[in-house]
Amino acid sequence: MLTQKIFWSRIVAAAAILLLTMAVCAAVGSVPVRLADVFDGPMRNGQINTAYEIIVTYRLTRIVLAAVIGAALATAGCVFQAILRNPLADPYLLGVSSGAGLGTMAAVLFGWTWSLWGISAMMPTAFVGALLTSGLVWLLGRSTGRHHTGLILAGVVVNAFFSAVMMFLTSIARADQIQTMQFWMMGNIAAMQRFEVIVPAAAIVAFGVVRLTQWGPPLNMLTFGADDAASLGLSVPRTAVSVFAIAALITAVAVCLSGLIGFVGLIVPHAVRLAAGPDHRQLIPISALMGGAFVVLADSVARVVVAPAMLPVGVVTALVGGPFFLILLVRCRKRLNWGL
C-alpha cells in the first residue's frame, strides 16, 4: 500500500538521483573544467572566468533544458500507456511528437518569430499539431475495432506520414534553414539554451506533471479497463480527453525545445514501474524526475562521445530505445494479439 512516507521517500530518492546526475554531467565535457573555479564568480582576477562561463552559461542551461524535456516526454508516455492500456505507447510512436514537430516547422517556415512572456510562436502551433494528431490517431484507432492495438498502428502510420511531410518541407526550405531543421528533426537541445525560454517551458511542464499526478487515481482505474472504470463511477471520455490534452501540451513544449526525441516515454515509465510499482500517483512524478535524469545523461553522452563534434541527443535515445522496444514487443506479442 502506498503511504505518505513511502511516497515522499521515493520522490526524494528520485529527485536526489536527478540532482546527482545533473551535477556529474555539469562536470563532464570536451573542455576540462575545475568545479571549484566556478565559485569565484563570472570575473576572476579582473578577467572573465572561463570556468564560470562554461559551467553556468553553457552546461547548466543545457542540463536544465534536458531535464525539462525528459520530464515532459516521460510523463506523457506514462499517461498514454495508462489510457491505452498498451505498454508500447509513447508520444513518439503514437505520432504526437511528429504532429507537434510539423506545427513547429510550419511556424519556422512561415517566419512567425513573435514571442509572448518567453513563449515563442512555435509553442502554440506545436500544441495545435500535437492535439490534432492525438485526435486523428484516436479516431483512426477506434475505427479499426481493436482500439488499443489500432491506436498503436494508427500512430505508427501517422508518424511515418508526418515525418515524410517534414522531410518534404525541409527539402524546399531556404539554404540557411536546412541544416538547422535537419538537426532539429534528430533532436537538438543546444538550440534553445536561454533561460528566458526555459523558465516558461519549465513552468508549463511542471503544471502538467502536477495536474496529471492529481489524475493518478482515475488513471489507476482506467488500467483495469474502460468498462470497469465506468462501473466505478468514472467519466471515462472526460478523463481520457483531459489527460490526453495535458499530455499533448507538455509533448508540444518538449518538441519545441528540442525537436524529435524518441523512446524516452517508452523506456522511463517501464523502468520506474518495475522499481516502484504501477500506482500512477507515484509513477507519474517519479517518471518525470527519472525522465529528466535520463535525457540529461543521454545529452551528456551526445556532447562528449564524438567531441569536439556533437551528436543529436535523439540519436543516443534511439540507440538505447530501439533494442528496448524490440524486447518489449516480443514480450507483449501474445497480449497484443497481432498474430505475429
In the chain, the number of structural domains is 1
Sign of CA dihedral 247, 321, 185, 22: positive
What residues pair up with 24 in beta bridges, in sequence order?
none
With respect to residue 144, please indicate whether it lies within any of the assigned structural domains: yes
The pLDDT of residue 26? 86
Q: Do the Cβ atoms of 89 and 80 come closer than 8 Å?
A: yes
pLDDT by residue for the chain (340 residues), tens digit each? Answer: 778 889 999 999 999 999 999 989 988 877 777 777 777 777 777 777 787 788 887 888 889 999 999 999 999 999 988 888 777 788 887 888 888 888 878 877 777 665 655 556 677 888 888 888 878 887 887 776 555 667 778 888 888 888 888 888 888 777 766 766 776 677 777 656 677 778 888 999 999 999 999 999 999 998 887 788 888 888 888 888 899 889 988 988 888 888 888 889 989 998 899 888 889 999 999 999 999 999 999 999 988 887 777 788 888 898 888 888 777 767 665 554 433 3
Peptide bond into 200 cis (omega under 30): no
With respect to residue 284, please indicate whether it lies within any of the assigned structural domains: yes
The pLDDT of residue 335? 52
With respect to residue 234, please indicate whether it lies within any of the assigned structural domains: yes
Question: Would strands 115-116 and 119-120 be described as parallel, antiparallel, or unpaired?
Answer: antiparallel
Q: What is d(CA 126, CA 255) in angstroms, rounded to the nearest whole number?
A: 8
With respect to residue 41, please indicate whether it lies within any of the assigned structural domains: no
Lookup: cell for 92 = 513518439
Cα separations (Å) of 269 from 71, 142, 203, 238, 249?
A: 11, 25, 22, 24, 18
The number of CA neighbours under 13 Å toward the Cβ of 317 is 33
With respect to residue 15, please indicate whether it lies within any of the assigned structural domains: no
With respect to residue 35, please indicate whether it lies within any of the assigned structural domains: no
With respect to residue 38, please indicate whether it lies within any of the assigned structural domains: no
With respect to residue 180, please indicate whether it lies within any of the assigned structural domains: yes
What residues pair up with 48 in beta bridges, in sequence order?
43
- Residue 119's domain comprises 63-336
The pLDDT of residue 68? 95
Which of 318, 208, 312, 253 has its CA nearest to residue 104?
A: 253
- DSSP assigned state of 41: -
Q: Do the Cβ atoms of 255 and 104 come closer than 8 Å?
A: yes
DSSP 79-114: HHHHHHT-TT--TTTTTHHHHHHHHHHHHHHTT---
CATH of the domain at 156: 1.10.3470.10
